[in-house]
């Protein structure tokens, strides 16, 4: 009995000498290859086609390809996220407020797993937020971080391949530098109540002032300093203040 020959993908010109980081089949049976060198190559069963930054794809290595329930192709790259619409890509990058780091995990309603290789954090971005930014170039993409304050230990451990796997129940499993983390996108919630601000130290004209109760400053006080904090992860802390003149 003769043996059936297998295609030698590595010998094809578009893949020859390239490092494949991920492969994903779409609903039409096409196979998408994400490349370490950047861009993707698509095999439709008989021929290959490549997409790169020239086609609007996000730049850098590609280590995540996802097909949603509607058949839309999402591509996570080193410098942003791209979505194939028809024959063109819609791309989100740091230019419109998106994360300037790799994206490697997707769910049907949100993007999870955009993060830095140097910080123990990942981010979640809603599909509706991405759609808004796609329709309005001036809109800055809003996202929320998950870090050690949420129980994430260690950096997402990429090693040039996606550290995230999406299970059949929708949960993400992340390989990190300290073990394994699990995130359920359906349970991601946001507390709308800002944390209370705590004043740790107060100095008026070089002299320490007890700030544990109401403070009355001496006349002609010119320089006042405050050290303050809040019960929130440092990466999420955003403070704002206003001063008013009062005699």
pLDDT, tens only, 199-234: 888 898 888 888 777 888 888 888 888 888 887 766
Q: Give yes or no for a contact between 113 and 101, defined as CB atoms under 8 angstroms apart.
A: no
Percent of the chain with pLDDT over 90: 14
- The Cα 210–Cα 231 span in angstroms is 21
| Lowest-confidence region among 36-40, 60-64, 67-71 | 67-71
142-195 pLDDT, tens digit per residue, is 877 777 767 777 666 556 566 677 778 877 787 777 778 787 777 766 667 777
At 12, the pLDDT band (50, 70, 90 cuts) reads low
Domains in the chain, CATH or no CATH each: 9-187 (2.130.10.10), 197-236 (no CATH)
Instruction: Name the least confident of 6-10, 62-66, 130-134, 176-180.
Output: 6-10
The top-scoring range by mean pLDDT among 56-60, 104-108, 224-228 is 56-60
Residue 35 has pLDDT above 90, yes or no: yes
What token pair was written down for 201? 């130290």
* pLDDT score, position 117: 45
Q: What is the pLDDT, as a whole number, of residue 38?
A: 92
**Helix or strand holding residue 127 (H, E):** helix 127-135
pTM here is 0.67
User: 146-175: b or e for each residue (b if 16 or more CB lie within 10 Å)?
Assistant: bbeeeebeebbebeebbbbebeeeebbebb
Residues in the chain: 247
Average pLDDT, whole number, for the chain? 78
pLDDT band (50, 70, 90) for residue 123: confident
- pLDDT value at position 222? 86
Q: pLDDT: is 5 or 202 the higher one?
A: 202
Task: Choose among 49, 7, 6, 4: nearest CA to 26.
Answer: 49
Residues 58, 82: contact at Cβ < 8 Å?
Answer: yes
The pLDDT, as a whole number, for residue 3 is 60
Q: Which of 81-90, 95-104, 105-114, 157-166 has the lowest mean pLDDT?
A: 105-114
């Amino acid at each position: 009995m003769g043996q059936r020959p297998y295609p030698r993908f590595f010998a094809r010109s578009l893949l020859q000498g390239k490092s494949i980081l991920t492969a994903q089949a779409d609903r039409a049976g096409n196979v998408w290859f994400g490349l370490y060198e950047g861009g993707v190559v698509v095999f439709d069963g008989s021929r290959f086609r490549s997409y790169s930054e020239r086609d609007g794809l996000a730049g850098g290595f590609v280590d995540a390809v996802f097909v949603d329930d509607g058949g839309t192709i999402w591509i996570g790259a080193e410098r942003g996220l791209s979505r194939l619409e028809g024959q063109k890509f819609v791309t989100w990058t740091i230019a419109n407020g998106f994360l300037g780091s790799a994206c490697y995990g997707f769910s049907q309603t949100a993007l999870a797993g955009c993060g830095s290789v140097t910080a123990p954090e990942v981010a979640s971005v809603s599909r509706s937020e991405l759609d808004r930014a796609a329709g309005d170039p001036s809109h800055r993409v809003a996202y929320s971080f998950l870090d050690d304050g949420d129980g994430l230990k260690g950096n997402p451990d990429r090693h040039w391949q996606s550290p995230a796997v999406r299970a059949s129940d929708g949960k993400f499993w992340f390989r990190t530098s300290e073990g394994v983390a699990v995130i359920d996108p359906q349970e991601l919630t946001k507390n709308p109540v800002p944390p209370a601000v705590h004043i740790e130290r107060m100095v008026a004209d070089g002299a320490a002032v007890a700030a544990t109760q109401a403070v009355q400053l001496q006349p002609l006080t010119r320089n006042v300093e405050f050290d303050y904090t809040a019960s929130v992860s440092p990466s999420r802390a955003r403070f704002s203040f206003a001063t008013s003149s009062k005699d």
